């Protein structure tokens, strides 16, 4: 756990505390609320999103309490004594239902549901959004890289370019998405991620010449030598000197593991370097590439240019989720006590779905994703033979000869985590299994096919009835 032993009650937006105090003094503190977490569009103009951050969120949620100094700080901000006394003993005691971490998910479907008194549900909103939005963004980016790199491995080299300590959660999410290792040693320790790294140009420059630098490094790391060959001249200096050191390692019973290219025309240099290594009898030496890589560059290198690259080190583009700054996940009230609630908007796409809901994934006869359906929680999916577009109900789909499964499962009951913690390799394995079930047209980067998420007729009627009542109230004002 990253922040073990630290009270996290202040890790929230100020307005959450203002609303919580309002609920407390407004006679609403005993009301039972239901909130949904969902997002409105896939990042990177893609066809899917990878859900990540669940375990981190739940672990941090267990520390969402207030210390004495927190209470004193809030007192100085003007919060009232009775409310501060309530916060002294606060901890989340509600229920949470969620899809599995590593699940492939889609816009506008509730992928996590929070139930509890309205104060506790409101207070945890910012923490939830902070963790789930960010890790899901980075896991999605990493998996897009995995899709184009295939069996070739790639490492997370992004620590120095990340947004502060967000690098820790980003490294975890990148591993879920497909990274084989990280350069971030603290993330490696905290999350049990393999760590990796070579040397920087400063190592080479600190010696009198390149060959001396390579020899020194190989002497210290004879069983794990990777040489950075582009400090001066890749083909006329770096690769020839690497070949020289490789031969010296062979005489000692070792093998040069790889060379790394970090600048220039990576396709051209990799092909020339491969030829030089092979001519020297060093076909076992791998070639690693780094330098501002992303899924589009890697796809071009491997598919279009037939680059002789065996592995990649990826920094800025993956660790920051470039070119999307954030996943647009939101947290919306769906029910208070037994009354469904919804937000209506002039932009109909932003209308929310009321009440407690369950999401079912339907599969075709080949076991591939077919549709996701949002139903009222206690609705029997076996009786639902058709689902409707949430905005344009004239667009609807029959669910014939489909198998299905419920996606939202209990993960917290009465404040206690109830599911078994998964290892990161297990989470990644679940992602890969799901990816094999996702039709290829949803995986392409250019104009991916839209995966259809629909609602049941019963949920549609509930929403439309509530919408009509709300508009009547507005019109009567």
Contact 111, 38 (CB under 8 A): yes
Nearest to 444 by CA among 204, 154, 147: 147
SS3 of 122, please?
A: helix
Q: What is the pLDDT of residue 431?
A: 98
Task: Considering only CA atoms, give the Rg of the chain.
Answer: 26
Q: What is the pLDDT of residue 394?
A: 94
DSSP, res 310: -
Contact 180, 153 (CB under 8 A): yes
Domains located in the chain, CATH noted: 139-319 (3.20.20.70)
314 prior amide bond cis, ω within 30: no
Per-residue pLDDT of the chain (477 residues), as tens digits, is 566 678 999 999 999 999 999 999 999 999 999 999 999 999 999 999 999 999 999 999 999 999 999 999 999 999 999 999 999 999 999 999 999 999 999 999 999 999 999 999 999 999 999 999 999 999 999 999 999 999 999 999 999 999 999 999 999 999 999 999 999 999 999 999 999 999 999 999 999 999 999 999 999 999 999 999 999 999 999 999 999 999 999 999 999 999 999 999 999 999 999 999 999 999 999 999 999 999 999 999 999 999 999 999 999 999 999 999 999 999 999 999 999 999 998 777 889 999 999 999 999 999 999 999 999 999 999 999 999 999 999 999 999 889 999 999 999 999 999 989 999 999 999 999 999 999 999 999 999 999 999 999 999 999 999 999 998 887 776
Q: What number of other Cβ atoms are within 10 A of residue 350's Cβ? A: 14
Rounded distance, CA 140 to CA 161, Å?
Answer: 18
Hey, what are 28's tokens?
Answer: 């609403």
Q: What is the pLDDT of residue 147?
A: 98
Q: What is the pLDDT of residue 2?
A: 61
Q: What is the pLDDT of residue 5?
A: 73
Q: What is the pLDDT of residue 476?
A: 75
DSSP states of 142-196 as a string?
HHHHHHHHTTSEEEE--GGGSSTTHHHHHHHHHHHHT--EES-HHHHHHHT--B-
Prediction pTM value: 0.96
Nearest to 176 by CA among 142, 137, 133, 132: 142
DSSP-derived pairing of the beta strands 112-117 and 286-289? unpaired
Residue found by looking up tokens 């002497």 in the block: 219
Contact 155, 181 (CB under 8 A): yes
DSSP states of 195-260 as a string?
B-----HHHHHTSSSHHHHHHHHHHHSTTS-EEE--SS-IIIIIHHHHHHHHHHHHHTT----EEE
* HEC profile of 46-101: CCCEECCCHHHHHHHHCCCCCCHHHHHHHHHCCCCHHHHHHHHCCCCCCEEEECCC
Rounded distance, CA 191 to CA 299, Å?
Answer: 29
């Amino acid at each position: 756990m990253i922040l073990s032993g630290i009270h996290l009650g202040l890790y929230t937006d100020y307005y959450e505390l203002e609303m919580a105090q309002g609920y407390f003094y407004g006679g609403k503190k005993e009301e039972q609320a239901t909130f949904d977490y969902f997002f409105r569009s896939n990042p990177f103009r893609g066809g899917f999103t990878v859900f990540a951050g669940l375990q981190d969120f739940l672990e941090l949620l267990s520390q969402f309490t207030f210390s004495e100094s927190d209470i004193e700080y809030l007192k100085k901000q003007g919060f009232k004594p009775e409310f501060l006394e309530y916060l002294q003993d606060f901890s989340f005691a509600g229920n949470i239902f969620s899809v599995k971490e590593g699940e492939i998910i889609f816009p506008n479907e509730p992928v996590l549901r929070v139930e509890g008194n309205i104060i506790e549900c409101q207070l945890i909103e910012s923490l939830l959004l902070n963790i789930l939005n960010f890790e899901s963004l980075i896991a999605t980016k990493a998996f897009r890289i995995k899709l184009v790199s295939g069996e070739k491995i790639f490492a997370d080299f992004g620590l120095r370019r990340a947004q502060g300590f967000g690098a820790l959660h980003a490294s975890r999410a990148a591993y879920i998405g497909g990274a084989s290792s990280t350069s971030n040693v603290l993330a490696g320790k905290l999350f049990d991620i393999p760590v990796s790294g070579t040397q920087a140009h400063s190592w080479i420059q600190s010696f009198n010449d390149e060959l001396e630098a390579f020899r020194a490094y190989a002497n210290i790391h004879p069983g794990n030598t990777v040489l950075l060959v582009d400090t001066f001249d890749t083909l006329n200096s770096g690769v020839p000197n690497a070949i020289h050191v490789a031969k010296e390692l062979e005489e000692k019973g070792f093998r040069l593991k790889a060379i790394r290219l970090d600048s220039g025309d990576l396709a051209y240099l990799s092909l020339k370097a491969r030829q030089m290594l092979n001519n020297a009898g060093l076909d076992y030496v791998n070639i690693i590439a780094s330098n501002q890589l992303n899924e589009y560059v890697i796809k071009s290198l491997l598919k279009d240019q037939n680059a002789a690259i065996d592995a990649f080190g990826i920094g800025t583009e993956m660790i920051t989720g470039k070119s999307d700054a954030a996943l647009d996940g939101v947290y919306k009230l769906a029910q208070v006590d037994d009354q469904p609630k919804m937000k209506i908007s002039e932009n109909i796409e932003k209308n929310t779905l009321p009440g407690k809901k369950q999401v079912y994934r339907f599969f075709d006869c080949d076991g591939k994703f077919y549709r996701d359906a949002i139903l009222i929680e206690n609705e029997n999916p076996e009786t639902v033979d058709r689902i409707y577009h949430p905005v344009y109900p004239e667009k609807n789909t029959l669910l014939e000869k489909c198998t299905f499964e419920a996606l939202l499962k209990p993960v917290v009951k009465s404040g206690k985590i109830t599911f078994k913690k998964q290892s990161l390799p297990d989470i990644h394995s679940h992602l890969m299994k799901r990816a094999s079930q996702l039709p290829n047209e949803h995986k392409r980067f250019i104009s991916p096919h839209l995966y259809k998420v629909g609602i049941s007729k019963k949920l549609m009627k509930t929403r439309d009835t509530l919408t009509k009542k709300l508009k009547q109230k507005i019109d009567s004002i």
